[in-house]
Structure formats: structure tokens, C-alpha cells
Amino acid sequence: MKVLILCTGNSCRSQMAHGFLQSFDERIEVSSAGTEASGKLSSGAVKAMAEIGIDISGNTSDSVQKYLNDEWDYVITVCGGANEKCPAFIGNVKHRLHMGYDDPSHAEGTPEFVWSEFQRVRDEIKAGFWKLYEEDIKPQL
């Protein structure tokens, strides 16, 4: 089972989703990419995932161009902000899904509030991807 998770910068939401999905089942080959990859991971995303025991610090922020010629069972976009757009993936894909989440790296306010946004979005991504895994992906493995 091959899954590609797409976002704009591939630094935060897609990286968290990548970490969760990979942790759910080692039989899933997970990759993540960005339409405008930043080339680095969000320190807040790395910290939020480490807080719950998932290390994504070794992940890389890659351009979607790297994956255009591959075949995928699922391509999932996670861009949820009103100012962002993830274009449709054009590769050979069996299932295309959109699961939108706020971008905590755009949160403004006190350090405590910004941190709480990383935790909130992390927990929403975990819940959404767990449901997808349980209901759709796991039965196909």
C-alpha cells in the first residue's frame, strides 16, 4: 500500500500525517511532498509529534515533482487554510482524498497559544488519519 500526503510546504501538516500513518502500520509505504516544498520541517511539528512519541525529525521536505511518475493507492491533500491551494495530483492514483486542516505554523498570539494550536491540529490529524486507516486502508492490507 503506497500513500502520498500532499501539502503546500511539506513542513508541518503533511509531515504530521506522514508520521501518524507510518506509525499505524508498517505495511504502508508513506511519502509526503509539497507543491512548494519549503525544504525544511516545522520545528513546532517536530516538537508536537515528539511529545507523543513519534519522531519525524529525520523526514525530508520534498517537492511533489519527485513523485509525479509513481503509482499511488492514495494521494491525500491536507491543505485547509483559505489562502492555500493544493492542485490536483496528476499521477497514477487509485484514490484521491482531501482532508483539510488548519496550518498551525500560521498561528499568531502568545507562545502558549501557538503551541496549543500545534497540539490541536496534531490531534485532529491523528483522529482523521486513524479513521481513514481503520475504515479504508486497513481492510485492503
Are 77 and 98 in contact by the 8 Å Cβ rule? The answer is: yes
Q: Is 45 helix (H, G, I), strand (E, B) or coil?
A: helix
Catalytic residue among 86, 125, 132, 137, which? 86
| 86 is annotated as an active-site residue | yes
| 12 is annotated as an active-site residue | no
Catalytic residue among 3, 6, 7, 28, which? 7
Catalytic residue among 5, 21, 79, 137, which? 79
Active-site positions read: 7, 79, 86
